[in-house]
A = this chain, B = another copy of it.
Amino acid sequence: MINLASIFPNPLVPDCIFTSPLLATEPSSETAPMVLAGVLLSLIFIYLASKLGGELSKLVDLPPVLGELVAGVVVGVSALHLLVFPEAGAVAGDSVVITILQFVGLNPESTEEVFALSSEVVSVLAEIGVIILLFEIGLESDIRELQKVGVRAAIVAIVGVVAPFVAGTVGLVLIFGMPTIPAVFAGAALTATSIGITSKVLSELGQLKSTEGQIIVGAAVIDDVLGIIVLAVVASLAKTGEVDIVNLVYLILSATAFLVGSIFLGKFFNKSFVAIAEKLQTRGNLVIPALIFAFSMAFLANAIHLEAILGAFAAGLVLDETDKRKELDQQVIPIADILVPIFFVSVGARVDLSVLNPSSAANRQGLIIAAFLIVVAIIGKLITGWAIVGQEKINRLAIGIGMIPRGEVGLVFAGIGAASGVLDKPLQAAIIIMVILTTFIAPPLLRFAFKGEEQLVEQPELS
């Protein structure tokens, strides 16, 4: 086998002013072409997994996103190791991608660097994927409909945060005899719904624009903000034993200002956006200004310590109000199609099923606590549908189920709790199992709850 290093003996000297990303065999740094090769291979595996999983899921009449998550588990750290990430403790030797790269000339000394860099690129692509997903969800949501359901969404969100938090904390103290601080931490981990998974399933079921769908999305957004606030409170409680009031007030004010502000600003920005897009005459005249806006809002939300995805969702809501919505929607579809699966497959790939192995004592204890947390997590959200008083004709079950998947914020709680020493290993494992289970059961349950009234969404017709 011919080694690339024998053709290109040395890296570019640092004073070479211009290094090109074009030539994949370019020696600007010996690792650069290998990082690209690693990213390409990872994307090939991700796309294969997403299509296989999505299609199989569809065949057995389940939401495709569930198949993508499961396929992610199959290609990830739990099984095939085609897609592993260093943050979870994996090293280059664990990665099949790196093993393949070694066959095509990757230098053994560079494996860790190439693994770290290509994994980082895939991670950022996944994050951009979920930003695009929430932008698309925003585009498909109707700001007027959201305002109409605003009060009901707020009720669902607040009940869905308070109920599992109180039930979880009290239960852990009374039933399991846990000290207060870890119980509060685990209770807090039960609060925040995963907006990404829920909204994707709603979209797949054609229910995003239904009253129930808009209540769920609205509640998930509010509940995401509440989750960030709860996280800040609990984290400062765990760290100093008291609540940092200044920080708390700051978070509440900035979150409110951001959401309300972006909607008001949006009303003015609407027309300028259309005017700009109509003046532009080069390719991407619509999609590039839209992405500049979405990424700016995502950056802004991130900068004030909210989530980037909230900014992208707000940007989508604003642009939904323009005359260009339909055209933009059509152009965002293929972009979402290639980026969003990276997110879902990565989420699956990071799930380590070894916490379910009962041969470890900590796992066994964790499984028992997990069973309790799962019951609280499901019931605590299920009841939210019945918290909406008055309205007769509303699918309360669907709303409750829509709020079940926990996803990311719960895992952040687990991580912070473990790092600050508040959570012991069984409790940490229990939280993780709860997150995995609620994430995976919600899609099929939601499909079941909407059975009969569903508007089957077939292939978007682009041709």
Contact = CB atoms under 8 A, between A and B. Distances in A.
A2 B305 CA distance: 9
A309 B21 CA distance: 11
A287 B347 CA distance: 22
Given A2-B250, A130-B21, A414-B16, A308 B40 contact: yes
A458 interface: yes
B14 A89 contact: yes
A331 interface: yes
A317 B105 CA distance: 28
Nearest to A343: B21
Interface stretch (A146-154, A181-189, A416-424, A445-453): A416-424
A283 B2 contact: no
Interface in A284-311: 284-285, 287-289, 291-292, 295-296, 298-299, 301-303, 305-309
Interface residues of A, number: 136
A24 interface: yes
Given A2-B305, A7-B232, A350 B18 contact: yes
A365 to B, nearest CB: 16
A295 B40 contact: yes
A127 interface: yes
B335 A127 contact: no
The listed residue with most B CB atoms (<10 A of its CB), out of A24, A39, A338, is A24
Contact of A20 (B23, B306, B407): B407
A281 B87 contact: no
A332 B334 contact: yes
B17 A104 contact: no
A39 to B, nearest CB: 5
A277 B27 CA distance: 38
Interface stretch (A44-52, A155-163, A263-271, A396-404): A44-52
Given A17-B350, A40-B302, A287-B334, 5 more contacts: A2-B247, A22-B347, A37-B299, A54-B282, A120-B120
